[in-house]
Amino acid sequence: MQCVNFFGKTPNELVFSHYTETQLLEHLLIHEIGHVLTDRDFHCSNKNCIMRSINSIIDLTKKADYCTSCLKKIKENKSKLNKT
């Protein structure tokens, strides 16, 4: 079954025409490191945050940044770890 067609391209063609495999891997690693620094089951509701749930390769094309709320959570968890 073929996925929805975007401007004459498949989703994979569209993604890989704008991002390298290395960039997509970086985004995935930043997301996974966020799980280590917050909570393994945590996902952010902010659509511009790298910690939003990843359900497809297209989700890896979002910004590779943590939102303010996630940065705060990471800093709080870091300070808890430093106290132990």
pLDDT in tens, 9-68: 676 676 677 778 888 889 999 999 999 998 888 999 998 899 999 888 888 887 789 999
Assign 1 a pLDDT band (cuts: 50, 70, 90): very low
Residue 3 within a domain: no
Tokens of 78: 């870091």
- The CATH code of the domain that includes 69 is 3.40.390.10
Q: Residue 2: pLDDT above 70?
A: no
Domain count, the chain: 1
Asked if the structure places residue 51 within a domain, the reply is yes
pLDDT interval class at 69 (50, 70, 90) = very high
What proportions of the chain, in percent to the nearest 5, are helix, strand and coil?
55, 0, 45
For residue 60, give both structure tokens: 């890896």
Average pLDDT over residues 72-79: 88
Residue 2 in domain: no
Q: Kindly indicate the confidence band of residue 80, based on its pLDDT and cuts at 50, 70 and 90.
A: confident
38 assigned to some structural domain? yes
Structural domain harbouring 54: 11-83
- Cα–Cα distances in angstroms (integers) from residue 84 to residues 29, 43, 68, 79, in the given order: 26, 25, 25, 9
Nearest to 31 by CA among 9, 5, 57, 4: 57
